[in-house]
Structures are given as structure tokens and as C-alpha cells.
Amino acid sequence: MSRRKVPSFSDAVFWTVVVFLFMPLFVLLLYSFNASKGGTFTGFSLVWYERLFFGSDQLWKAFGKSVSIALGSASLATFLGTLAAVGTSRYKFFGKGYVQAMSFVPMILPEIVMGVSLLVFFAGLGLKLGMATILIAHTTFNIPFVYLLVSARLEEFDSSVIEAARDLGANEMQTLLKVIVPMIVPGILSGWLTAVTLSLEDFVITFFVAGPGSTTLPLYIYSAIRFGVSPVINALSVVMVVGTVLLVYPSRRFLKAFAAGA
């Protein structure tokens, strides 16, 4: 049976929300083509894009650092989170409740508290703040997301498949690598992608655990916009949104499949 016509009030709210959400992006787009640096639009120009690509070494260095931390922390978190999800979904053991609780609490702790506590912790250990401390921090806040997504996937699958594998002669390692992991690949993948995104995006925690020489892209953006207008950042934002859309658009079928699986 067809759905009834949507009440117009909620539709009006929805489209207002869409305009509200997109408005800042359009302003960025507009200003990125502005000939002058100030807020007033003085004419069309590509000068900020030129500056972005040919005169922003620091920015691209920060970008490189962000990407390497994102890939590293996401992979580490995916490894740890997947193993733990397999363990807690298949077995009962002493400390299981602790592992589950530890995997949930970080998600609801305000970022600022996690950032401060890690800073205090690293200071107490005498660790020098830098890429390593950022990597540790990012892995820590990424683990719960991977764990949750992989667990959700594991919950869905039929455990008799594992029994069948054991029955047919596979040992624990073979069962894990040849049966369980292939079946939960969508969950692992979405966990990894989530972790990469969260890491690239993080500002607050990184702000506390970063040291000299470990400026990630969000930290670079922060220092750039702190002191007012920065049209290069406008251009960068436009490039990032367009880049993401170009990346996502061709793979949207894959994304849909993976979103359905997660």
C-alpha cells in the first residue's frame, strides 16, 4: 500500500534544515573565489586555489601527518577491536564484562576530559608529546567504534557456521582466518573507515596530546583561522568537499552495500 502524503509541516522543517546545513558551505564556496582577502566580495579569482596548491607547504605537511596518523591509528584500532569483538561474541570468560564496559565508556566521555587525562598521563610517564602520543590517543578513541561495528556484524551471523568449520577439521586459527573474518569483512571495513574519518576530524584530543612538530591538519586549520580570515582555508574546504563527493559518488553502490552490512 502506498504511503500517505507526508504532512507538509515536517517537510518544510526538513528543507529548512537542509538550507541551514548547506548555507555555510555556500559561503565558503563564494569566498574561495573572492579576489580580495576581506569579507567583501570584490571579484572572481582563483588566487586562493593557486596559493593552496603552490604556496602552502606547511598545510600539506600537516595533511600528510593527519593521513599517516589516521591510517596508523585506524589499522591498529581495527586489529585490536576486531579481535576483542570476536572474543566477546564467541566466549564467556572472566573479565568479559570489563572489556565490554571499557569499549563503551570512551564513546560517552566528553572529548575534553579524554584529552586532558591523556595529557596528564603522558606527562606523568615523562613521554614527549608528538606523533607517537597522537597515535596512541587516536587509537584509544577509535577502538570502541570498531568494536561496536564488528560486534554488530558478529551478532548477526549464524554461529553454526563456526561449528561446521570445526567439525570439518579447521583449527581455531583456520576458523578465524578462513570463516569468521571473511564473513565480517563489511563490519571490519566500516569500522576501519569510521576510525579513519574520526581521526582525520579530531581536533580537541589532538590539541592536548600534540607537541612541537606534530601539527595535524585540524591543528593547522585551527592556527590559521584563530587569527581571522584565511581564504586559503576556504579553498581547502571546497577542495575537500568536492574531493569527498568525487570519492564517494562512484563508490556509492559499495557504500550502500557496506552500510547495509554494518
Chain residues 155-214 in contact with other proteins, contact rule CB under 8 A? 163, 166-167, 172, 190-191, 193-194, 197-198, 200-201, 203-204, 207-208
Among 143, 154, 232, 235, binds other proteins (CB under 8 A): 143
Q: Which of 89, 73, 81 is nearest to 149 (CA)?
A: 81
Among 80, 127, 131, 183, binds other proteins (CB under 8 A): 80
Question: CA-to-CA distance for 260 and 240, rounded, in angstroms?
Answer: 26
Q: Which stretch binds other proteins (CB under 8 A): 45-53, 56-64, 244-252?
A: 244-252
In DSSP terms, which residues pair with 34 in a beta bridge? 44
- Contact of 234 with 28, CB cutoff 8 Å: yes
Q: Which is nearer to other proteins, 46 or 107 (CB)?
A: 107
Question: CA-to-CA distance for 14 and 235, rounded, in angstroms?
Answer: 28
Among 35, 105, 164, 185, binds other proteins (CB under 8 A): 105
CA distances from 138 to 17, 73, 213 (A): 32, 6, 17
Q: Which is nearer to other proteins, 18 or 46 (CB)?
A: 18
Q: Which of 241, 235, 224 is nearest to 30 (CA)?
A: 235
Residue whose grid cell is 593527519: 66
* DSSP three-state, residue 91: coil
Asked if 86 touches other proteins (CB under 8 A), the answer is yes
Site for other proteins in 42-71 (CB under 8 A): none
Instruction: Show the site string, 1-40: x = touches other proteins by CB under 8 A, - = not.
Output: xxxx-xx-xxx-xx--xx-xxxxxx-xx-xx------xxx
Question: What is the separation of C-alpha 172 from the centre of its chain, rounded to a whole number of angstroms?
Answer: 32
Among 57, 148, 174, 214, binds other proteins (CB under 8 A): 148
Residue whose grid cell is 569468521: 180
In DSSP terms, which residues pair with 44 in a beta bridge? 34
- Contact of 35 with 42, CB cutoff 8 Å: yes
Among 44, 54, 57, 94, binds other proteins (CB under 8 A): 94
Among 126, 182, 227, 247, binds other proteins (CB under 8 A): 247
Name the minimum Å distance from CB 104 to other proteins.
Answer: 9
Name the minimum Å distance from CB 50 to other proteins.
Answer: 20
- 40: DSSP letter: S
Q: Which is nearer to other proteins, 46 or 120 (CB)?
A: 120
Asked if 139 touches other proteins (CB under 8 A), the answer is yes
